[in-house]
Amino acid sequence: MVRPTAQLRSAEENSASEDPLPDLRFELPTVPGRLIGIRPVPPRPRNGTASNATAGNDPEKPEAPTIAPQLTPQESAVAQQQTNESLNIAERNLGAARGKTLTAAQTDLVSKIRSFIKDAREAAQITDWSRARSLAKKAQVLSEELASSL
């Protein structure tokens, strides 16, 4: 911090000059030896660029394994049946909307329903019945909402 110091002048000097210039002297504070700390080791990369540089030879990253709950054969059969029922209801409700003029919200619902149906069928293909049941149920609920708005 810099502070000016004003020197006091006698009344005679002040009257002699109409507009005296102040004598400003600056007092500079002492600065500590180092302002910036020095790190003994280089900083670690924050975004993982060093690990990406070594893995640059692999153009495609392997897909992470899917973790699904283990169902007993009986639970699996029930989930498969519920999945098929929900998919049938969703497709029936989608069929009721075919050929009708839909609002933007209804068109968005149709898109979401189709996406859930597609994802449920993909989950069923790999026998992930709990996921397939969940996705099919979402498709069913949205399709019932669509059917009630027609």
Please check whether residue 112 lies inside any domain of the structure. yes
Q: Using CA atoms, how far apart are residues 7 and 27, in angstroms rounded to an integer?
A: 14
Where b means 16+ CB within 10 Å and e means fewer, 12-45 reads eeeeeeeeeeeeeeeeeeeeeeeeeeeeeeeeee
Domain of residue 112, residue span: 73-149
Is residue 56 included in any domain, yes or no? no
User: 112-148, pLDDT tens digit by residue?
Assistant: 999 999 999 999 999 898 999 999 999 999 999 998 9
User: Is position 15 within any domain?
Assistant: no
Q: Can you tell me which residue has the tokens 């009257």? A: 15
Tens digits of per-residue pLDDT, 43-62? 677 775 545 545 555 557 77
Is residue 109 situated within a structural domain? yes
Q: For residue 99, what pLDDT is reported?
A: 85
Any domain includes 36:
no
Cα 57 to Cα 54: distance, rounded to the nearest angstrom: 7
pLDDT band at 75 (very low <50, low <70, confident <90, very high): confident
18-32 pLDDT per residue, tens = 666 777 777 776 766
Split into its structural domains, the chain has a count of 1
Q: In the chain, pLDDT over 70 holds for what percent of residues? A: 65
Does any domain span residue 99? yes
Q: What is the pLDDT of residue 26?
A: 73
Domain-located, residue 24: no
Determine the pLDDT at residue 67. 64
